[in-house]
Amino acid sequence: MASYRQILYHLTFHTINSERVLLNSGNDELFKYIWGVMKNKNCKLFRINGVEDHIHIVCDLHPSIALADLVKAVKVASSKWIKENGIFPNFSNWAESYGAFTLSIREKDTIVKYVMNQQEHHKKESFQDEFIRLLKENGVEFDEKYLL
């Protein structure tokens, strides 16, 4: 008997202290590396993009891995890879926190487009303002003193 599921997430996380160190020249390589990490965890990546201080991922989470374990795997592996390859010389680490927001299939294309347009979007809104807006839009309770 087959099991069917769909577990769509919009993930976002930032560099420690929101350091603006993810320079466009290395982003394609970083995103390909993260895609490989996710593929190895049997997760489907729909879109990844980001700017100097954070990234966004739209994915389908495989039921064999817990969300926190996937985020940890992506952060640990990509941090090590960045440092070993010197892609972003001023990168020190990812921040401990992250945002994870579930999606319906009807929202997926809209969120994929949103992630695709990060460079344009962040000419108008900081990551902190964006993150607070995402938390509010998704009904997530938070304490601002623990943000960033």
Going by pLDDT thresholds of 50, 70 and 90, the confidence category of residue 143 is: confident
Q: What is the mean pLDDT of residues 95-105?
A: 95
The domain ranges of the chain are 8-139
Instruction: Give 8-139's CATH code, choosing from 3.30.70.2750, 3.20.20.140, 3.40.50.720, 3.30.70.1290.
Output: 3.30.70.1290
**Residue 148 pLDDT:** 60
Eight-state DSSP code of residue 48: E
Higher pLDDT, 25 or 98: 98
Tokens of 42: 């049997």
Tokens of 34: 């993260």
| Segment 22-81, tens digit of pLDDT | 987 889 999 999 999 999 999 999 999 999 999 999 999 999 999 999 999 999 999 999
- Terminus-to-terminus CA distance in the chain, angstroms? 45
Q: At residue 75, what is the residue type?
A: K
User: What is the distance of C-alpha 19 from the center of its chain?
Assistant: 16
Q: What share of the chain is helix, strand, coil (3-state, %, to 5)?
A: 45, 20, 35
3 vs 107: CA distance, rounded Å: 23
Tokens of 131: 């993150």
**Residue 74 pLDDT:** 98
8 Å CB contact between 70 and 43: yes
CA angle 89/19/68 to nearest 5° reads 95
CA angle 62/80/71 to nearest 5° reads 25
pTM exceeds 0.85, yes or no: yes
8 Å CB contact between 16 and 30: no
| H or E element, residue 45 | strand 44-51
